Chain A
Amino acid sequence: GESVGLHLPTLSVQEGDNSIINCAYSNSASDYFIWYKQESGKGPQFIIDIRSNMDKRQGQRVTVLLNKTVKHLSLQIAATQPGDSAVYFCAENISNDYKLSFGAGTTVTVRA
């Protein structure tokens, strides 16, 4: 079946560098995408979202890029900090459906 997937299960980043987390999706009908951050012992927390009529959206230190041609989603974190260490999930939503389909997650570790 169709699913959301992440390219790499782990990512190690030097503090202060920029992080890029990638996600590939296969459902061309998906029109809404979310990135979540999950810290140890906590539930996932919303970071940023983007709808299919956009290709870029910026938040505080984060940017989401959507390339519908190759069905690719990425999350960029600027000036990565120790508090950014967490598991990051991308999720997609198909039109007119409130369900989200999640990828397996990328564990980001920030090196001091």
Chain B
Amino acid sequence: DVKVTQSSRYLVKRTGEKVFLECVQDMDHENMFWYRQDPGLGLRLIYFSYDVKMKEKGDIPEGYSVSREKKERFSLILESASTNQTSMYLCASSDTSGEQYFGPGTRLTVT
């Protein structure tokens, strides 16, 4: 079974804090993705990575950065959290088939 894990299920941070969201997959997948999910908007792609040390901007990269130092780990960084970044964050990984496997999500609240 493919397993994608995310470091926290729930996080509460203050405005201006630096926030790290970690994602690990155990299937040796090349591709990893970070999405945010908001009511009525579906899943929106923030950043993705096709390989170690490689990153590409998705549809809404502003206010975020990422790091992929190892193949199995993809981190999402909020340099200075803002209240409009309160959301559900989902990590996914895929191989060349295209099917993406998702983690359970991290619900982030920024106060």
Contacts and interface: CB of A to CB of B under 8 A. Distances in A.
Interface residues of B, number: 25
Nearest to B4: A43
B99 interface: yes
Contacts of A9: 40
Interface string B15-44: 000000000000000010101000011111
A10 B58 CA distance: 28
A100 B42 contact: no
Contacts of B48: 98-99
Interface stretch (A14-22, A63-71, A76-84, A101-109): A101-109
B64 interface: no
B29 to A, nearest CB: 10
A43 B99 contact: no
A99 B58 contact: yes
Contacts of A104: 40-42
B99 A34 contact: yes
B100 interface: yes
Interface in B48-97: 48, 50, 58, 90, 92, 94, 96
Contacts of A43: 4, 90, 92, 102-105
B45 interface: yes
Contacts of B99: 34, 46, 49
Nearest to A101: B45
B42 A44 contact: no
Contacts of B102: 36, 43-45
B98 A93 contact: yes
5 contacts: A91-B43, A98-B96, A99-B58, A104-B42, A105-B42
Given A89-B43, A98-B98, 8 more contacts: A36-B102, A43-B105, A45-B102, A91-B100, A93-B98, A99-B48, A100-B98, A100-B100
